[in-house]
Structure 1
């Protein structure tokens, strides 16, 4: 009885009823105190009673809805279970089976109807089929599942009415037994679902569909547990592979079940048919009924699934040994109580029979339940030995092992028979059913249900507590409010006293220190229930006292603002007027704010607020003053929200400010206002990159360094002019004239109208001037990229002259932007109507509107205009005509003049021809020849470049300069390309041989022991030799040989850019050619005359032999001797000797080889004279010396100083 009462008091319906009654009590007792906008809706008892009944009605409906949901879920489950599953193939010979099946299905419906009405106890007085715990019994065929349930000792409420067999072979799948007890629903599945060995595909699908059926109708907990049945007899008989295979099947079925259910389901392993273990019936024969119902097995501690080393399966061995030990302690009692010898033997060996099963059971459990890191392990709760009935031949494991070891015949035990069940009833009732709530619900679904239920209960509880505490808090808050107002007022009074600026006097304020006034003003504003914010909700409920206190505190705060803040703002603006005379626009705005504060003009609160905020940002900068600036802005807005007191003006200061502003053109200020208008700021910029085509970046750059994406502000575009500027001009002019009161001028009347018209024209003039400057700057800040190489020049010229020429697209786009007249709405001058023009767009629009009105009446417009004294023709040029005139030359360049072709097209055509020539040169097989021919006049490129330069002089700046620069750059690049090709030719044809023939050889390198061969020397330096031929072929047109030293000369206004030092070497090579290869000789030769001048006194004679040509001198008169090198004999030797021979001294010197003469001259001392063909040569041998006079046959001779020694093969040109 007590348990039933406690269950009812803790049920959900009772707790929710108590909550509803508490909420109703709160409404009844505290409702009259609730005020909403000054009204008390729950003051009437009838209304409160209706509210209480409404709460109870909501509770009743909620309970009924919950009951309906449970019933509906139960009905859906019953329908799903009783729905027939169509057979895959009907058997016409099985009509009796079909009739029996239909009868059993009908009986099941009757049973489920009874279950709908059955009362099983619980918090609600009844529990439906859906609410009972459900258990799934799985196992291999023949595992004893059905026998165990039939003899479990549980109560089956329908057995008396329908018979227990009626519950079998029914249900949605036709292959499950449904056992309905008053404590749980047990589902006995077919063994083939576990093994799936007959029809794997069909059995597997049916198994998964059945689990899905349970999940669909019991989403939170499809099953509360799994009873895993394993026959001990079969387990003992299986080989190790068979046992492992069966364990793998069970493990897979559990994994599939766990995957579909969504939670860890407790698994209870029932080792059935324990009665078939030899000695079972004899050992437990003395047990009473209550003792047979006890639990015989192992229940493991609850597994949290976290630690793998603490899994329950690892404890089985220890627990099973304890179970075996418990049986062993009972053996002695059984032996003493048994008189039959054979039965005593069975009793004695029974513990050993049980122990012999341990390895097989342990192996099975390890395969199924051993944890691994790759999957969540099953929740093993226990292992239990059971027996449903005693039938069949016992299994004697010990006898089998002994017989197998010694080759004996296996003994055959008599078959057992009996109808008693062992160790089932309490195992199911006290272990399995008692843990019905152990299974975890689907985590996602359970989380949502738990949050919803907890949130609902918490909301109801909090609502009740909140209402109960509301009025108590309101009373306390209002009491504190009154005290707070008193305290804050006293504090504000104390802070205001040092300022010496009581509300009664404004004349004492003579500073602009805003920082010191912020604390007292903050205090006044923060008075509870005052200015700061509306009444807090927690202090309402009919008890709020802030309304009366707020009106008084607001008045005090407003007076303080007028007394403390307003004078300082006024003084600050006066200071701005005194010190900012050089900034007209700033001065005008400051004067306007000053007059507004003094009440001398219409108040613009937003202007005053923004003006002072910007001033405070400048005078109190930085993050440190953020709070002060924010507070000052708040106080200023509060002050401006109320009428301001009248303050005395400084008339002289105002007059000075107005006088200064007269020097600032009003049109300039109007343009500044026009420029800052939102619709003007929203205009998109005109960008060159958007208008010059996708190839603009390849050929155009800006010398200023700005990117091509930087453009002209949208204010200075065709659309900006016509769509934004012209419509805004009248508004700006009107607004400026409306502010004439700031300057002391009339802001209304006929004079103001005329002033607005003049101002509109002035603003337009300023705007057009800046318009022209913007586009002049853009035009002057775009040039063609420099040409640096032949290929790049060809690419640039091809792009410039192509159909999508960025140059043409850019200039065409500029013409569109600089041709402001006619406008987009102007009519063509066809004589059918006026052209919308005039000085202003407004005039044009009015004329067009008037003309349309006249045309709509079908009346003669000209006749009516004459009668009215109005001209329909525009007065003066269109508004944008000055820009048209300013860029007339550019427009004619792009569009042509008088029907003539545009000069821009002619320029692009010539650029195309220049591209073709450079491209041909760049791609020619003999690129060097092509380039040199073009530069030297052998092609027509020079003519094209000249034509471009001539045409550029007729083009407007800066386009003409661009074209001229391109022509010059093309020639320069061609020269550069020619130089590259010349250098390649030099380095590939001449330089290798030159260096191999001359480097480190005499006479190019003095004192070198290796001579340049005569053939190599002639091959290099002879007329028509390698150097002479290379020079004449590649360089001669570019060299001025009329001067000495030679100099580079320009061809087609460019030179090759080769350094002068290189040219010096070619000039030296020419001198070597002329001096050693006279008259076009093919071999080097020298003709000279040598005359003895002086002979040492120690010698009687000196004899000289130059290649067979002899000169002997014996202190007689000198006689000149003509010598040739090489001589006729071709000995290639030079000898000189003194006579007579002196002891210890050499007799003379001798040289051999092609350069013997020059070696001989190098051995002596060769000195030049003022005459280039005359030299003095002295030679010393030992202590004797001879001097000769040497006269070359030409001034071009090889005896000059450093002629041969200074020549070096240029490494690069």
Structure 2
């Protein structure tokens, strides 16, 4: 009995395609049949004995004989089929034998025949499946021969659809892969081609740049040479990082071009760039104070720049970045270019290594630096051990720790609404001045190794006994405590309350202090967090507490905490009384309500002015005064911050009052001045229109428009020295005060308490030219007659008449009888001043001056006497008066 695998195999022969011999199939069929029969005959003895029972042996023998005889029958049948029609001869591909047993359904033929004869309906189940049907030699035949033969069996619709879909998918994916690969090759080809072009272009650019001239101490003069050659070096990217053969899809050319161009670039860095930087550092080294930390820092950078054995690229880059930033402030691109060249030089050059290999060029370039660096090493070697270790500790902390503590960021967004930094750099506290130091006990002495290398000290000086290390630790601790307290005090002192521009800004700032983000409390809390030792938890036993108290880091923090106890003590709560800061908040809340009442009044400016007057006139104690008094009893820096808040609050209240005054100033003072006085005579000497005396009187007289405004509004500010705030900023413009002083001179000159508007002076004729026999001066009806001879002093007043048509005239009469007199005249209320000012002043003395008039070829001179302090003819008395439109 055959197993399943044997039943699924093929039984038959496939003929070869032989176009030359059409009957070759006969031999192949005969060969198959003989082989088959040989297999049957070989297997028959065993099957006779073991495979079948006695009744089947005869049938088995007969089967083999039948198969033997079947060969000739099949051969004859195939010949009849093939050669029956010469025009339509089929192709013979093989002969295959399969099972003769029925596979499928069984029919009940008797029942079907009876149903058809008697016209009965069909059965419910006319057929049923055969339960023991087994196909032989069929499964593999269809899969491997019949269906595999081209055009032998037609494809079904589902197979065709699936096949087309697979073919389309495969074709699409293949096309995309081909396009992607072609695009990638094209891209990387173009990329490398463009990189090659870039190398050639930068090389030509490099060759066209002449060597730089001048004294180069920062390396910037080398940039025209370095930039193109660096661009050429990196045109293909950093070939050091691209080691794979498949880089750029195997088209990468940088590994061939890069080393060649890089050699030129490194030579420029070694021969030009680094020596120029070293020369600049050498100049700084020579200028640095002897034995200073600055000098040690410069020497450290120089040693690391020329020796790669213990080079710290980050430290060198940080120092040079700061140096370039100071030299080329605002030139960010230039600084970035210098830094990129420095980074490449630090990563790929070793000046010291070349000198050790007896490179003559390296030795020659370093020769100018040998003597100065040795002298600096000898000088700095005199530093004490503790100073060197402490400097190294700070250096290591700067290089390894995270970003420093920035008080602006720590306080939060409300910082700018309340504080302003006097020095931005002091807002930054290095992480070294936190709890970093106390974790370095075992590393303090190890940090001397770097500076020992910098100073070229023998190794044996780095080996210290336990006693030496203990002394170093104590001395460094003293340095650290002093540095720590100095930095944090400077940081707190650097925080100042900002100047408020107006009342709403002051109110908003105080709200932030008492109920918002509380920046003042936040600043003090940051100070407390960084100066307070850790609290001893209640879960610790007495032994554990004693062990903690005995630790050096706890003792150090406890010592620092005592130094800042007054500053941080305001945060400590004392039972029901609360903390000192809470008491400050209560006063600030009262100040907030005080300012809010002014702002919410119908006219805030009037309310502010009333508050200022109450405080100045009646010495009233208000919320601002109470905060100022409280600030005097607070510790630093809280007393300064609270006092500044009160001062700023007082300042914005005064500013609000001045703004209110400015409205009144424009409506009552400036408007009258611009309407009746500005641009007219005597304020404008060239004007033809005069200022009416009534308006002049109304504006300048005692208790007039200007004087009344000053006494009622500005006088409290001026007499109490409040024209300038405590911060030095002006509340009332200086030119306003200057013009008020000029107005006061005008008032005292032209007004008297008894007679009001008017001024007196005396005039005396001095001389008259010979071609004139008489001079007659008429000043508002006041006559001064003069002929050659003795003169008299005449006492005159101005104004002598309030009439608008008043005339002042000077008439000179000629000595010839047939000649007519000639005159110089002016009309109007200011005619006297116009006439006198038209003459030429001479012989000016305190209290008197001469004025000479020229009329019709003759001249007459008068001497005018007046009070020196109240001179109505003083130059610039009116022309200097220019009333500003604003008060602040």
TM-score normalised per structure 1: 0.38
What's the offset of the Cα at 1:769?
6.1
What's the offset of the Cα at 1:1066?
1.8
Q: Distance in 2 between matches of 1:841 and 1:450?
A: 78
Kindly indicate whether residue 126 of structure 2 is the aligned counterpart of residue 126 of structure 1: no
The Cα offsets for residues 351-402 of structure 1, whole Å up to 9 and x where unpaired, read as xxxxxxxxxxxxxxxxxxxxxxxxxxxxxxxxxxxxxxxxxxxxxxxxxxxx
What's the offset of the Cα at 1:220?
1.8
Q: Does the 8 A contact of 1:120 with 1:183 survive in 2?
A: no
Pick closer, same or farther for the CA change 1:1198–1:1165 going to 2, 3 Å.
same
What's the offset of the Cα at 1:1132?
1.6
What's the offset of the Cα at 1:973?
5.0
Q: Distance in 1 between matches of 2:719 and 2:346?
A: 78
| Residue of structure 1 equivalent to 2:417 | 698
TM-score normalised per structure 2: 0.50
2:162 aligned to 220, 225, 247, which one? 220
The Cα offsets for residues 1023-1070 of structure 1, whole Å up to 9 and x where unpaired, read as 3443333333443234469xxxxx997687967455544433222222
Q: Does the 8 A contact of 2:496 with 2:641 survive in 1?
A: yes
Pick closer, same or farther for the CA change 1:695–1:1024 going to 2, 3 Å.
same
Kindly indicate whether residue 856 of structure 2 is the aligned counterpart of residue 1162 of structure 1: no
What's the offset of the Cα at 1:817?
3.3
Q: Distance in 1 between matches of 2:608 and 2:401?
A: 54
What's the offset of the Cα at 1:1138?
4.8
Kindly indicate whether residue 354 of structure 2 is the aligned counterpart of residue 664 of structure 1: no
Kindly indicate whether residue 717 of structure 2 is the aligned counterpart of residue 1004 of structure 1: no
What's the offset of the Cα at 1:1157?
2.1
1:443 aligned to 140, 158, 168, which one? 168
| SS across alignment from 2:753 | helix
| Residue of structure 1 equivalent to 2:562 | 885
The Cα offsets for residues 215-258 of structure 1, whole Å up to 9 and x where unpaired, read as xx87623xxxxxxxxxxxxxxxxxxxxxxxxxxxxxxxxxxxxx
2:823 aligned to 1145, 1148, 1156, which one? 1148
Pick closer, same or farther for the CA change 1:116–1:1069 going to 2, 3 Å.
farther
Q: Residues 719-730 of structure 1: matches in 2 within 5 Å?
A: none
1:1073 aligned to 743, 747, 754, which one? 747
1:991 aligned to 646, 666, 670, which one? 670
Q: Distance in 2 between matches of 1:662 and 1:1162?
A: 80
Q: Does the 8 A contact of 1:768 with 1:883 survive in 2?
A: yes
Q: Distance in 2 between matches of 1:975 and 1:803?
A: 26
1:905 aligned to 582, 599, 608, which one? 582
Q: Distance in 2 between matches of 1:120 and 1:777?
A: 96
| SS across alignment from 1:957 | coil
Q: Distance in 1 between matches of 2:811 and 2:522?
A: 89
Q: Does the 8 A contact of 1:1093 with 1:1189 survive in 2?
A: yes
What's the offset of the Cα at 1:808?
0.8
| Residue of structure 2 equivalent to 1:173 | none
For this pair of structures, how many residues does the alignment match? 577
Q: Does the 8 A contact of 2:426 with 2:491 survive in 1?
A: no
Kindly indicate whether residue 554 of structure 2 is the aligned counterpart of residue 837 of structure 1: no
1:800 aligned to 513, 532, 546, which one? 513
Q: Residues 710-725 of structure 1: matches in 2 within 5 Å?
A: 710-711=428-429, 713=431, 716-717=434-435
Pick closer, same or farther for the CA change 1:804–1:1104 going to 2, 3 Å.
same
What's the offset of the Cα at 1:1190?
4.5
Q: Distance in 2 between matches of 1:834 and 1:925?
A: 69
Pick closer, same or farther for the CA change 1:1121–1:701 going to 2, 3 Å.
closer
2:530 aligned to 810, 817, 821, which one? 817
Q: Distance in 2 between matches of 1:615 and 1:1154?
A: 91
What's the offset of the Cα at 1:1153?
1.8
Q: Distance in 1 between matches of 2:391 and 2:746?
A: 82
Q: Does the 8 A contact of 1:712 with 1:774 survive in 2?
A: no
Pick closer, same or farther for the CA change 1:926–1:1148 going to 2, 3 Å.
same
Pick closer, same or farther for the CA change 1:115–1:701 going to 2, 3 Å.
farther
Kindly indicate whether residue 710 of structure 2 is the aligned counterpart of residue 1036 of structure 1: no
Q: Distance in 1 between matches of 2:761 and 2:462?
A: 109
| SS across alignment from 1:1012 | coil
Q: Residues 39-118 of structure 1: matches in 2 within 5 Å?
A: none
Higher Rg of the two aligned structures: 1
Pick closer, same or farther for the CA change 1:1085–1:770 going to 2, 3 Å.
closer
Q: Distance in 1 between matches of 2:136 and 2:408?
A: 82
Q: Distance in 1 between matches of 2:395 and 2:874?
A: 84
What's the offset of the Cα at 1:889?
1.1
Q: Residues 708-787 of structure 1: matches in 2 within 5 Å?
A: 710-711=428-429, 713=431, 716-717=434-435, 772=485, 775-787=488-500
Q: Residues 260-659 of structure 1: matches in 2 within 5 Å?
A: 439=164, 441=166, 443-444=168-169, 614=310
What's the offset of the Cα at 1:895?
1.8
Q: Distance in 2 between matches of 1:776 and 1:925?
A: 45
What's the offset of the Cα at 1:803?
5.2
What's the offset of the Cα at 1:807?
0.8
What's the offset of the Cα at 1:811?
0.6
Kindly indicate whether residue 613 of structure 2 is the aligned counterpart of residue 895 of structure 1: no
Pick closer, same or farther for the CA change 1:625–1:121 going to 2, 3 Å.
same
| SS across alignment from 1:836 | helix
Q: Distance in 1 between matches of 2:749 and 2:175?
A: 116
The Cα offsets for residues 828-862 of structure 1, whole Å up to 9 and x where unpaired, read as xxxx9557035756799xxxxxxxxxxxxxxxxxx
Q: Distance in 2 between matches of 1:691 and 1:1199?
A: 67
Pick closer, same or farther for the CA change 1:116–1:921 going to 2, 3 Å.
farther
The Cα offsets for residues 590-623 of structure 1, whole Å up to 9 and x where unpaired, read as xxxxxxxxxxxxxxxxxxxxx996479999x986
Q: Distance in 2 between matches of 1:1018 and 1:746?
A: 96
| SS across alignment from 1:1003 | coil
| Residue of structure 2 equivalent to 1:543 | none
Q: Does the 8 A contact of 2:805 with 2:829 survive in 1?
A: no
Q: Distance in 2 between matches of 1:661 and 1:1149?
A: 93
The root-mean-square deviation of aligned C-alpha atoms, in Å, is 6.1
Q: Does the 8 A contact of 2:615 with 2:622 survive in 1?
A: no
Unpaired runs of at least 5, structure 2: 1-11, 19-103, 105-120, 177-290, 294-306, 317-341, 354-380, 448-458
Pick closer, same or farther for the CA change 1:1023–1:682 going to 2, 3 Å.
closer
Q: Does the 8 A contact of 1:120 with 1:126 survive in 2?
A: no
What's the offset of the Cα at 1:1107?
4.0
Q: Distance in 1 between matches of 2:679 and 2:349?
A: 88
Q: Does the 8 A contact of 1:1068 with 1:1207 survive in 2?
A: yes
Pick closer, same or farther for the CA change 1:783–1:824 going to 2, 3 Å.
farther
What's the offset of the Cα at 1:1155?
1.9
The Cα offsets for residues 65-95 of structure 1, whole Å up to 9 and x where unpaired, read as xxxxxxxxxxxxx9xxxxxxxxxxxxxxxxx
Q: Distance in 1 between matches of 2:608 and 2:794?
A: 55
Pick closer, same or farther for the CA change 1:117–1:1159 going to 2, 3 Å.
farther
Pick closer, same or farther for the CA change 1:891–1:932 going to 2, 3 Å.
same
Pick closer, same or farther for the CA change 1:114–1:971 going to 2, 3 Å.
same
Q: Distance in 2 between matches of 1:946 and 1:121?
A: 114
| SS across alignment from 1:817 | helix
